[in-house]
Amino acid sequence: HDDGSIVNGEDGQPLMHTDGTGFISEDLARLCPPSSLKGDFLNEHYSEPLLLQFRLFHEGYAVKGTVLLNKKLERKTIQVRPSMIKVYRDQECPVPSPVNSFEVVAISDRPKKSYLSKYLIALLNYGGVPRNFFMDILKDALADVQISMINKRTALQVALLHGDMDDDSTVARMIFSKIPLDEPYIQTRLCVLANQQAKSLREGKLPIDESFYLMGTADPTGALNEGEVCIIHENGQISGKVLVYRNPGIHFGDIRVLTAIHIEGLEDIIGCSKYGILFPTKGPRSSTDMMAGGDLDGDMYWVSRHPILLKYFKQSHPWTCMNHYSSKSSEKKPIELSDEELERELFSHFLTARFRRSKAMGTASNSWLAHMDQMLTNEHTKERNCLKEKLLELVDIYYEALDAPKTGGEVRVPRELIPDTYPHFMEMTKSPSYESKSVLGEIYDQAQEFNLNTPAIPVWKLPPLDVEVPYRNLKTWQRHYEAYRAEMTAALSTDDVEAKRASADKVIEKYKQILYEASELEKSPRAWEEISLDSLAIFRVSYDYAIKVQDAKKCGFAWKVAGEALMKIFIESQNEKPLVCVPSVVRELFVRNNAHEHTHVLIKLPGLRASIIKWSNSILLHIRGQYDIFHQALICGIDVYLCPMLAWIIRI
């Protein structure tokens, strides 16, 4: 406590403000550049990562947590706290040649686009945020989904955002190759990505402005008081009110309203490093523990500066465990077991952690969401009090289930806490359901009603690729294509999603190997003339079959197997010299990052939604709508800048 006395938690253990975090010297931090995991190169503006999440094995010790850059430390120094040491060296059984290693798990990197979830929406709505705020976000997001089929910029953003679903960002690379947006394969893939976006929206994954996830650590200066934080973002420290939340929090008080302040002299410790949230080391209970029992060993914290959220949200009392629902096991210590007994126990623990814990967690979270749905719409005080008691009990159970693998306890959900019916948006097909009237039900219904209106996509061939091909190449790839279709049908016959994906990837890799005699074009030992002829044959065979069966999806064989070569051929036909750009830079430039530091105000105009963003000396006006302008019938996502000289620059 502030007077120096130790405050214990409900489990009898001391409450810590620095649980899981330490320090690292500047020279060691420099060994892991901020974007090294993305393969980027350093530049003159390079600065060390602010935080490293790590695992350390040293002389028989096992240590895990995070380390904060500390420029004041001596060279080659790592400082760890007792809370970070998970295994101590056994003095009675020394290891003759211990393995020493420092393994970087994650770094404090630039935040990506932030999304809400069903649970976060429910908590925000319970805290006073009006439902029309979420519905407005949904409407804009659904409009963007529809726009992505016809607007190149939006299509590119969608393709980059879902690159992991897009055969290594094939659509994005096709767009960058100047292939038109109405190309049949691009249209089929954009349709798949758009439907996936609509599905995510139906599940409550709404994009949210002025919000981002940051890795947390403790204030190294001691300047922060209880209820304060220090947020280091793109342009340094941020000041003002913020909402802070830790996933997977489901307690009413897991969203905290805190004040971000500027710490003088912090740069003397961390330099110009970025992206992190510092919590105070003062007060009877740490801010992180108030958010679903969080700590600082790598947890990511959602931070929002959205003015609407700050205006309406009222925080509740933080979570404290009221009841225990796990049964403690009276097991022997590992050192007391024989080799055979230890092997059995480890395997048993694996099965329990892998399956039984997940069942308790899933049951508790599903039950919580069903009761919370009724809590959001029920105005009867007596019934609300009953629902709230159930919700609080389920929170305790859920958090115990999360910790069960570490504590060794077995968690069960009492039958009386499990609902008999579930809201329809949960899609619990094996249980009775009812029509939800909450904001979650409305989000589900509107996203469900959304119709992409995608008629059958006509198949046609790009002229630069629709050329005569030697008969020998054509016949060879006709045989390969017939074999490919049979193998792909077999690969996709399983119900296991992961196995299906792995089998399909294996089939594609086989035919890429046949084409390139390598895993990709740039590693191929074959002459470009040979690869070019085979790639054009693949294109002809694939598109002829797609036209025959009137199915644009059949064009995929050409781009999955020969995409690199076909794009190279198409680019060469355009008489333009391509620019080389790595994917991480492209994402930074084209995917909207809503975590910038600016003021966001929503206004409504007749038939038009606009958001005015005040940023330095200019005003950026994002206008989303449908206009007949210039040579296109539909232009969407226009960026209009109102500069100090009152000159309007319209960028399509």
Q: Is residue 97 helix, strand or coil?
A: coil
pLDDT digits (tens, 9 = 90+) for 161-214: 776 666 678 888 999 999 999 999 999 999 888 888 899 999 999 999 999 999
In a domain, 244, yes or no: no
* Residue with tokens 């329809």, as numbered in its chain: 424
Residue 324 confidence (pLDDT): 61
Residue 56 confidence (pLDDT): 92
Mean pLDDT, range 448-468, rounded to an integer: 86
Residue 601 confidence (pLDDT): 30
* Residue with tokens 């006006």, as numbered in its chain: 621
- Residue 479 shares a structural domain with residue 557: yes
Last residue of a domain, one of 392, 413, 434: 413
Last residue of a domain, one of 61, 82, 107: 107
Q: Give the chain's radius of gyration (CA, Å).
A: 28
pLDDT digits (tens, 9 = 90+) for 85-110: 988 887 777 667 777 899 999 999 88
Last residue of a domain, one of 77, 107, 137: 107
Tally of domains within the chain: 4
- Residue 495 shares a structural domain with residue 538: yes
- Residue 354 shares a structural domain with residue 380: yes
Q: How confident is the model at residue 332 (pLDDT cuts 50, 70, 90)?
A: low
DSSP state of 233: E
Which region among 75-79, 258-262, 598-602 has the lowest average model confidence (pLDDT)?
598-602
Q: How confident is the model at residue 46 (pLDDT cuts 50, 70, 90)?
A: low
pLDDT digits (tens, 9 = 90+) for 18-29: 889 999 999 999
Cα 242 to Cα 309, 490, 594: the distances in Å are: 9, 52, 15
- Residue 509 shares a structural domain with residue 385: no
* Residue with tokens 């939340």, as numbered in its chain: 245
- Closest by CA to 229, choosing from 190, 256, 197, 193, is 256
- Residue 459 shares a structural domain with residue 398: no
Which region among 127-131, 351-355, 545-549 has the lowest average model confidence (pLDDT)?
351-355
In a domain, 392, yes or no: yes
In a domain, 215, yes or no: no
Residue 556 confidence (pLDDT): 94
Residue 34 or 500, more confident? 500
Residue 610 confidence (pLDDT): 34
- Residue 99 shares a structural domain with residue 202: no
Q: How confident is the model at residue 313 (pLDDT cuts 50, 70, 90)?
A: very high
Backbone angles phi, psi at 14, to 5 degrees: -60, 140
- Residue 477 shares a structural domain with residue 569: yes
Residue 151 confidence (pLDDT): 87
Gap between the Cα atoms of 346 and 395, Å rounded: 28
DSSP state of 522: G
In a domain, 425, yes or no: no
Residue 650 confidence (pLDDT): 27
Region of residue 453 (phi > 0: left; psi between -120 and 50: alpha; otherwise: beta)? left
In a domain, 426, yes or no: no
In a domain, 616, yes or no: yes
- Percent of the chain exceeding pLDDT 90 equals 57
**pLDDT higher than threshold 70 for residue 591:** no
Question: What b-and-e string marks burial along 152-186, b requiring 16 or more CB atoms within 10 Å of the CB?
Answer: ebbbbbbbbbbbeebbebbbbbbbbbebebebbbb
- Residue 173 shares a structural domain with residue 98: no
What pTM was computed for the model? 0.81
pLDDT digits (tens, 9 = 90+) for 601-646: 333 333 333 333 333 333 333 333 333 222 232 233 333 322 232 2
What is the overall mean pLDDT for the chain? 82
- Residue 74 shares a structural domain with residue 138: no
**pLDDT higher than threshold 90 for residue 418:** yes
In a domain, 29, yes or no: yes
Mean pLDDT, range 227-252, rounded to an integer: 95
- Residue 577 shares a structural domain with residue 604: no
Residue 48 confidence (pLDDT): 86
- Report which secondary-structure segment, H or E, holds 134: helix 131-147
Q: Is residue 571 helix, strand or coil?
A: helix
- Residue 33 shares a structural domain with residue 101: yes
**pLDDT higher than threshold 70 for residue 514:** yes
- Residue 582 shares a structural domain with residue 459: yes
Which region among 78-87, 156-165, 366-375, 422-431 has the lowest average model confidence (pLDDT)?
156-165
Residue 161 or 464, more confident? 464
Which region among 31-40, 77-86, 147-156 has the lowest average model confidence (pLDDT)?
31-40
In a domain, 275, yes or no: no
As to burial, measured by CB atoms within 10 angstroms (0-12 exposed, 13-18 middle, 19+ buried), residue 77 is: middle
Whole domain around residue 349: which residue ranges?
326-413
